[in-house]
Amino acid sequence: MATLEFKHVNKTFGAVEVIPDVSLFIPHGSFTVFVGPSGCGKSTLLRLAAGLEEISEGTLEIDGADVTFARPIERGIAMVFQSYALYPHMNVAQNIGFGLKMAGKPKAEITRKVQAAAETLQLDALLERKPGELSGGQRQRVAIGRAIVREPKVFLFDEPLSNLDAALRTQMRVELAQLHKRLGATMIYVTHDQVEAMTLADQIVVLNKGRIEQVGSPLELYNHPQTLFVAGFIGSPKMNFITGEYASRLGVATFGVRPEHVEIVTSSPHWTGTVQFSERLGSDTYLHVDVPEIGRLTVRAVGDAALTGGETIGLAPQAAASHGFDADGQSCPVRWNAH
Amino acid sequence: MTLTTPAGPPAARRRPSGFARMRTDGSLTALILFLPPAVLLFTLFVIWPIFSAVDLSFYKWNGYGDVTNFVGLRNYEILVKNSIFHQSLFNSLKLLLASIFLQIPLALVLALLLYRKTSANTAFRLIFFAPYILAEIATGLIWSFIFDGDYGISAMVANKLGTEPFYILADKQWAFWTIIIVVVWKYFGYHMMIFIAALQAVPSDLVEAAEIDGASSLKTIWYVKLPMIMHAIKLSVLFAITGALQVFDIIIPLTNGGPSNSTHSIVSYLYTFGLARMNVGFGAAVGVVLFALCVGTAFTYKRMAIDKGGQL
Ligand SMILES: Nc1ncnc2c1ncn2[C@@H]1O[C@H](COP(=O)(O)OP(=O)(O)OP(=O)(O)O)[C@@H](O)[C@H]1O
Ligand SMILES: [Mg+2]
């Protein structure tokens, strides 16, 4: 059992307040992903959980015990760094076993556990190598091995896959998901990557300027973003936002509809616009359409839409899948009947 | 870049010889232009003095007139039998050991305490580095004043304590210890700076990873920081070795080799018995021995410590 809870946590570096006031509960066995733009405090929050940074105010509890001032080793956590942070002068076996060695475990036990971890991560053939002699993906596995061998209560990952190429990232993503399933441990994961967040998480925490914008399951955030920020951050391509007179006629400050929720229609279009250019991915086509008085809209058409630019098309938003936000960026209902 | 299939016979594709390539890419011109001055300077200032010193060491020559009095290995024979030279060799060995086993650990400890960037650390670093900037002669004079049993600080201390004045620099048992202390005092800051630079280059996430792995600060130093700066330590030891063998201008103002020639280093021995007494041929012989020792230890050390470790 390992739960983790931030209670009114504040973090200040000198005069700079990076995390004003965060309260967050992370249930046992959850895979929680922190997302947010660069510099929003994801790493800082993770490092506060790890004990690498000191909490300025508030408390942190792991399994209900106050660990605000505990050293990292007393918290039962393990961390995987973006840079992997492998000890370059030690071989793979020594890297994985270092934590056990520091804990004063007997040699035989260390060897056995390192061997077991290496087998799960397919590293058994590489145990004698130094990190410099490994590929990026293998280094990543060693870093994960170093974390799992200590059987921590909570795993912390800071953008662990961001140095890998796309194919390897997909593969490691699947492996991480399997690892989580097998260990059943609580994991906190920081990423920039939408796909990682949506596929791995059972709970996503969207951060903005050190504040939590919304916490929820991936589809909850996708279907019911509570703020303009979350609406714009989750989903790719980005949600279309329409402000001005059109929005105010619907009783909102900003009207939002995702590109996949705008349909190309031939009869009684809601909007009529000119295709400026299209991105044809094969499976989908992203159309960038200029609609007079509304602006540029992105439309996602399934399959190859065979539109290359210059065509005039009719568009209609799916009313049920559209979003409204008030002047403060909070979600509010769209009043279609007023239209 | 596109690759085109060569039209000519296979022989035309053979890799051009080094010389032919150098001729076409202009590096031959560069070689002709830049190599002779380098070779000339190196010969003039490095090779030639070494050979002329070796040559001189076979003569008895007082520095004036022609070098004609060939004495063969006589200068070396004198050296081998000279007990003052033995003492000087032993002293240089003591300096070498002190440099490696006192100075470098001291520098390392201070570097570990001071490498983080804070204003207090910067101030301490400057203080510890200051002796290194000080001219050797000035260092010697300052310390000879401190140790002076009549007028110096030790005289004041003895006076205050009401004890007999103590002439440590004239004490055969302790004089060389003071020299060792002054040498360590003067040069540890230099090694400390090398270690500080190396420690600052250790990635902080390695240290954090060790913290997460549960390593105490001492264990982090032992298992992570020291291995990560091993290249700098090895380099420092090399500098310490060559430096220790060349100690000279601290000894002259402090003891001038005394009492009864018991505190000479190889170099101050060379100066005193070779140059100051106009035995230039003999001095050259000492110089050759010193050179051989320096090169010998440096290369042996490089073999043992550096090449094997694969770094530097
Ligand atoms: N040691 C520090 N001293 C001062 N400011 C810091 C320190 N560490 C982080 N910050 C600041 O805190 C803010 C949050 O940093 P953090 O590293 O948590 O961002 P992040 O969300 O992880 O960004 P990224 O996605 O780029 O990794 C940034 O504005 C950063 O400049
Ligand atoms: Mg970060």
A106-129: pLDDT as tens digits: 999 999 999 999 998 889 899 999
CB–CB of B214 and A89 under 8 A?
Answer: no
Closest C-alpha to ligand 1, atom 5? A13
Question: pLDDT class for A13, splitting at 50, 70, 90?
Answer: very high
From the alpha carbon of A45, which atom of ligand 1 is closest? 18
Closest C-alpha among A249, A260, A248 to residue A318: A260
**Among A26-30, A133-137, A143-147, B15-19, the least confident range:** B15-19
Q: Which of A34, A40, A161, A192 to mutate to test the pocket of ligand 1 (most atoms within 8 A of CB)?
A: A40
B159-163 mean pLDDT: 82
Q: Judge if the beta carbon of residue A44 lies within 6 A of ligand 1.
A: yes
Over 50: is that where the pLDDT of B254 sits? yes
Q: Which residue has the higher pLDDT, B158 or A209?
A: A209
B276-295 mean pLDDT: 88
Over 60: is that where the pLDDT of A338 sits? no
CA torsion sign for B205, B226, B183, B197 is negative
pLDDT of B34 reads: 85
From the alpha carbon of A34, which atom of ligand 1 is closest? 21
pLDDT of B14 reads: 67
Do residues A311 and A274 touch, judged by C-beta distance below 8 A?
A: yes
pLDDT of B309 reads: 57
CB contacts of A70 in chain B (<8 Å) are: none
Mean pLDDT is highest, among A59-73, B67-81, B164-178, for A59-73
Amino acid at A293: E
Nearest CA in chain B to A156: B212
pLDDT of B37 reads: 86
| B219-258 residues touching A, CB cutoff 8 A | 219, 223-224, 227-228, 230
Determine the residue among A47, A82, A89 to mutate to test chain B binding: the one whose Cβ has the most chain B Cβ atoms within 10 Å.
Answer: A89
Q: Which residue has the higher pLDDT, A298 or B151?
A: A298
Do residues A273 and A313 touch, judged by C-beta distance below 8 A?
A: yes
pLDDT of B26 reads: 80
Closest C-alpha to ligand 1, atom 2? A13
Reported ipTM: the value is: 0.86
Span A185-197, pLDDT tens digits: 999 999 988 889 9
Chain B: closest CA distance from residue A87 (Å): 7
> Residues in chain A whose beta carbon is closer than 8 A to a beta carbon of chain B?
50, 52, 71-73, 77-79, 81, 83, 85-89, 98-99, 102-103, 146, 150
Alpha-carbon span A324 to A334, nearest angstrom = 5
Over 80: is that where the pLDDT of B22 sits? no
Alpha-carbon span A84 to A175, nearest angstrom = 17
pLDDT of B227 reads: 95
Q: Which residues of A181-199 are buried (b: 16+ CB within 10 A; e: fewer)?
A: eeeebbbbbbbebeebbbe
Percent of chain B with pLDDT over 90: 40
* Residue B164 at interface with chain A, using a CB cutoff of 8 Å: no
The yes or no reply on domain B90-307 and CATH 1.10.3720.10 is yes
Q: How far does the centroid of ligand 1 lie from the alpha carbon of residue B52, in Å? A: 64
Span B178-229, pLDDT tens digits: 899 999 999 999 999 999 999 999 999 999 999 999 999 999 999 999 999 9
Neighbours of B312 (CB within 10 A): 13
Question: CA A106 → CA A90, A109, B102, B214, distances in Å?
Answer: 19, 5, 35, 16
Percent of chain B with pLDDT over 70: 93
pLDDT of B171 reads: 82
Radius of gyration of chain A (CA): 24
- Kindly list the strands in the beta sheet with A4-13, ordered across the sheet, starting from the edge strand earlier in the chain: A16-26, A4-13, A57-62, A65-66
CB contacts of A77 in chain B (<8 Å) are: 212
- Kindly list the strands in the beta sheet with A211-216, ordered across the sheet, starting from the edge strand earlier in the chain: A77-80, A154-158, A186-190, A31-35, A203-208, A211-216
Over 70: is that where the pLDDT of A255 sits? yes
Run of H or E including A143: helix A136-148
pLDDT of B3 reads: 53
Q: Which residues of A7-17 are buried (b: 16+ CB within 10 A; e: fewer)?
A: bebbbeeeeee
B45-62 mean pLDDT: 86
Over 80: is that where the pLDDT of A298 sits? yes
Instruction: Return mean pLDDT, chain A.
Output: 92
CB–CB of B212 and A52 under 8 A?
Answer: yes
Q: Which residue has the higher pLDDT, A32 or B60?
A: A32
Closest C-alpha among B184, B154, B179, B155 to residue B262: B179
pLDDT of A102 reads: 94
Shortest-distance ligand to the CA of residue A209? 1
Q: Judge if the beta carbon of residue A75 lies within 6 A of ligand 1.
A: no
Tokens coding B157: 């201390």
Question: CA B23 → CA B11, B27, B151, distances in Å?
Answer: 20, 7, 72
* Residue B215 at interface with chain A, using a CB cutoff of 8 Å: yes
Shortest-distance ligand to the CA of residue A18? 1
| B182-211 residues touching A, CB cutoff 8 A | 203, 205-206, 208-211
State whether residue B221 is helix, strand or coil: helix
Dihedral over alpha carbons B45, B46, B48, B54 (to 10 degrees): 130
Instruction: Return mean pLDDT, chain B.
Output: 86
Phi, psi of A51 (to 5 degrees): 90, 15
Closest C-alpha among A128, A331, A339 to residue A239: A331
Q: How far does the centroid of ligand 1 lie from the alpha carbon of residue A201, in Å? A: 23
Q: Judge if the beta carbon of residue A37 lies within 6 A of ligand 1.
A: no
CB contacts of A71 in chain B (<8 Å) are: 211
Over 80: is that where the pLDDT of B10 sits? no
Closest C-alpha to ligand 1, atom 26? A38
From the alpha carbon of A82, which atom of ligand 1 is closest? 27
Question: pLDDT class for B297, splitting at 50, 70, 90?
Answer: confident
Mean pLDDT is highest, among A52-56, B38-42, B303-307, for A52-56
A139-144 mean pLDDT: 93
Over 80: is that where the pLDDT of A179 sits? yes
Q: Which residue has the higher pLDDT, B285 or B1?
A: B285
pLDDT of B1 reads: 44
Over 90: is that where the pLDDT of A222 sits? yes
pLDDT of B50 reads: 87
CB–CB of B209 and A87 under 8 A?
Answer: yes
CA torsion sign for B260, B262, B263, B266 is positive
B25-38 mean pLDDT: 84
Chain B: closest CA distance from residue A3 (Å): 19
